[in-house]
Structure 1
Amino acid sequence: MTAVSDLVGAAHQPTWPEPEVLRDTIELLRRLPPLVEAQQCARLAGELAAVTRGERVVLQAGDCAELFSESGPEAIRAKTAQLAGLGESLSRTGRAPILIGRMAGQYAKPRSHRAEIGADDAEVPVYLGDAVNDLAPTAAGRRPDPRRLLLAYAHAARALQTLAAGPAVYTSHEALLLEYEHALRRTDPVRDEVFASSAHMVWIGERTRAPGGPHIGFADGITNPVGVKIGPEADPAEILAVVERLAWNRPPGRVSLIVRMGADRIGERLPPIVRALGEHAANVVWLSDPMHGNTVRSAQGLKTRVLRRLTDEVEQFCAVLHRHGRHPGGLHLEITPDEVSECVDESADLSTGPDHARYRSACDPRLNPGQAGALVERFTDVLTTI
């Protein structure tokens, strides 16, 4: 059962309009089978431990915000095929890749603003992901509906069935909606420990990683591998406190630090964090998320990212860790197998791109196949030379 104290002070939670429906939904979720099994999560934990030793490399990638309409078998097969192809590129490093999809659960998003201008130039609540409300920019569509949590479970279950028949891909998502995540905790029948059955790995976002907050509290109470996003304003002492809490008495690789600082700031802001962690820095998985710190607006006002800036951040990420004797562990990317135009290649392209007609992301801009391949190839080149 989820105690009220587990949720007190939780940031970026929806304001559900029907508390009795939410209560019934959560009770039903508690009775459903686990989406993933404990032994699968334990296997991933063991593989991530090898990353801390420089023996393996991670590609964690997928949609910014998954849509229920794009979680069917054909879409999942396309996404896993893209991951597998990028994994082949990473194999040139001599380190076997670990493929972790941002899929089968990435149905909720924290947002910077509570409202936006929707249909008919009227203000509507912001889209919070398909697990909460609808992408359609209307007042009715944007009304949070707790029954969507059951749809999130159903779509995740269907996606996982498709994954089971394909390449070895683990699943991950941001553990944002605490009522949902707590409801899907299960007990490992072998180890008698609690794990999150919503995904093989979950991460805690930049906005919700307070060391004493409920999201870190949730992460502390499960045995799954856990990621923590860290941005340019992160306090080294705070990150140390988070790592000490989540990694205490646990094997290397339990915690992945997902660095999202921006190309302009990573060279200054990452070294103090690596130094503050001391010996802990050798036992965490270091992942580069070059997407979120490099978001800009095009001349047409579209949210976008410049591939050259992403490459720059990845290169600096590797250089900082190498100077400190630590292993760059991999990449955390927002990508799609579709030929979209959401990111641009060079800063000069901001005056004309991206192409609005091929901009289909539900939230943040994603790399198309060519751009994702170029970024992974560059990361591979860097790893083979340091």
Structure 2
Amino acid sequence: MNLHGPSRSWQSLPAAQQPDYPDPQALREVVADLASYPPLVFAGEADQLRTRMAAVARGEAFLLQGGDCAEAFDAVSADQIRDKLKTLLQMGVVLTYAASVPVVKVGRIAGQYSKPRSSPTETRDGVTLPSYRGDSVNGQAFTEAARTPDPQRLKRMYHASASTLNLVRAFTTGGYADLRQVHAWNQDFVKSSPSGRRYEALAREIDNALNFMQACGADPEEFRTVEFFSSHEALLLDYESALTRVDSRTGRLYDVSAHMVWIGERTRQLDGAHVEFASKIRNPIGVKLGPTTTPDDALALLDRLDPDREPGRLTFVVRMGADKVRDKLPELVEKVTASGAVVAWVTDP
């Protein structure tokens, strides 16, 4: 990968929410190492998700995206990863059964280790230290050593993400995601929860339907595995660009840290580095839209990130609050739709 190529064009622009590393040379060395690491996902998988998101944008499928606001390095055990996946599988099967449409399952997982902050510093008892920006940058403990940004944590993020994705792939293709496991996903929950008992009743209905289909001679392979995609906020641009690769099939750039990445409300400046970076990659892209977003803002983001008006390319993640969304969202949807764009509209809980 050429670290000075198009994936680094963002470097000449203002980049919000980036750590202030005390040793720039150490950061450069880490970035060079990361650029030599294997991809975490493949370009063809990102293309597949873009196709699935196009169906979502057209109203032919439903997007279920879930996971942590911020992952932690000490939360990558097999049990913790399985439990996150189990919850999403449960939700996915309920939505599929109830709505009778495909459910595209995307985890905020295997890369969501960074946090934007409203202030670069935090003060306690007269002591001011850098804010905690997520395990990918520094530690939570309120000490100078812990709060000093450390570029070696970018490597830890890569390895934690790789371990997580490895296990997720094993679960989703190795039998755990088989629809005949629909009861097993709920065993602990069902013992004490009314919601769990309702889920178990639904699971029995699904079992009966599967048994009927099997008796009729239908036993599709699709029931044994599940498509599951990864996503996170592309906040730390040194990391994301180091994991950007040229696809050998097409010659296009893909961010191989995740299938889908998004730009946050604090980093979606049209003249900023994050929008520039996202404009160069072929992954499905999300942008968070807060209550100050105007129709002109949304249309300008479309022109930068989805100039060809390609369904599945762009997702708008709406985070406006229940008190504002009824006033703000309809006009945004109307103006974006009138522009010819077919985007997915997603709520950020």
TM-score (normalizing by structure 1): 0.72
Give the Å deviation of 1:112. 0.7
Per-residue displacement from partner, 1:211-262 (whole Å, max 9, x unpaired)? 2321111111000000000000012101101012211225201100000000
Any residues of structure 2 matched to 1:227-306 within 5 Å, and which?
227-249=286-308, 251-280=310-339, 283-290=342-349
Q: Which residue of 1 aligns with 2:10?
A: 6
Q: Which residue of 2 aligns with 1:179?
A: 238
Q: Which amino acid aligns with 2:46?
A: C
Q: Which residue of 1 aligns with 2:143?
A: 138
Q: Which residue of 1 aligns with 2:267?
A: 208
- Give the percent of matched residue pairs that are identical in Structure 1 and Structure 2: 44
Q: Give the CA RMSD over aligned residues.
A: 1.6
Looking at structure 2, the residues matched to 270 and 41 of structure 1 have their Cα atoms a distance apart, in angstroms, of 28
Q: Which residue of 2 aligns with 1:72?
A: 77
Q: Which residue of 1 aligns with 2:248?
A: 189
SS at match of 2:59: coil
Per-residue displacement from partner, 1:319-378 (whole Å, max 9, x unpaired)? xxxxxxxxxxxxxxxxxxxxxxxxxxxxxxxxxxxxxxxxxxxxxxxxxxxxxxxxxxxx
SS at match of 1:69: coil
SS at match of 1:107: coil
Q: Which amino acid aligns with 1:14?
A: P
Q: Give ranges in structure 1 of 5+ residues lacking alignment.
A: 291-386
Looking at structure 2, the residues matched to 244 and 274 of structure 1 have their Cα atoms a distance apart, in angstroms, of 15
| 2:152 aligned with 1:147 | yes
Give the Å deviation of 1:279. 3.4
Larger Rg: 2
Give the Å deviation of 1:158. 0.6
Give the Å deviation of 1:171. 0.5
Looking at structure 2, the residues matched to 34 and 9 of structure 1 have their Cα atoms a distance apart, in angstroms, of 27
| 2:40 aligned with 1:29 | no
> Alignment partner for residue 95 of structure 1, among 97, 101, 105?
101
Q: Which amino acid aligns with 1:95?
A: V
Q: Give ranges in structure 2 of 5+ residues lacking alignment.
A: 173-226
Q: Which residue of 1 aligns with 2:190?
A: none
Residues 138 and 147, structure 2, Cα contact 8 Å, conserved in 1: yes
> Alignment partner for residue 86 of structure 2, among 68, 76, 81?
81
**CA pair 154-142 structure 1, distance change in 2 beyond 3 A:** same
Looking at structure 1, the residues matched to 313 and 331 of structure 2 have their Cα atoms a distance apart, in angstroms, of 22
Q: Which amino acid aligns with 2:295?
A: P
| 2:227 aligned with 1:221 | no
Residues 72 and 158, structure 1, Cα contact 8 Å, conserved in 2: no
Q: Which amino acid aligns with 1:101?
A: G
Looking at structure 2, the residues matched to 261 and 99 of structure 1 have their Cα atoms a distance apart, in angstroms, of 23
Structure with more relative contact order (C-alpha pairs < 8 Å, separation 6 or more): 2
Looking at structure 1, the residues matched to 304 and 88 of structure 2 have their Cα atoms a distance apart, in angstroms, of 32
Residues 133 and 145, structure 1, Cα contact 8 Å, conserved in 2: yes
Per-residue displacement from partner, 1:93-112 (whole Å, max 9, x unpaired)? 12111111111000111101
SS at match of 1:42: helix
Q: Which moved more, 1:194-203 or 1:164-173?
A: 164-173
**CA pair 239-250 structure 1, distance change in 2 beyond 3 A:** closer
Looking at structure 2, the residues matched to 219 and 138 of structure 1 have their Cα atoms a distance apart, in angstroms, of 34
Q: Which amino acid aligns with 2:147?
A: R
| 2:121 aligned with 1:110 | no
The count of residues paired between Structure 1 and Structure 2 equals: 289
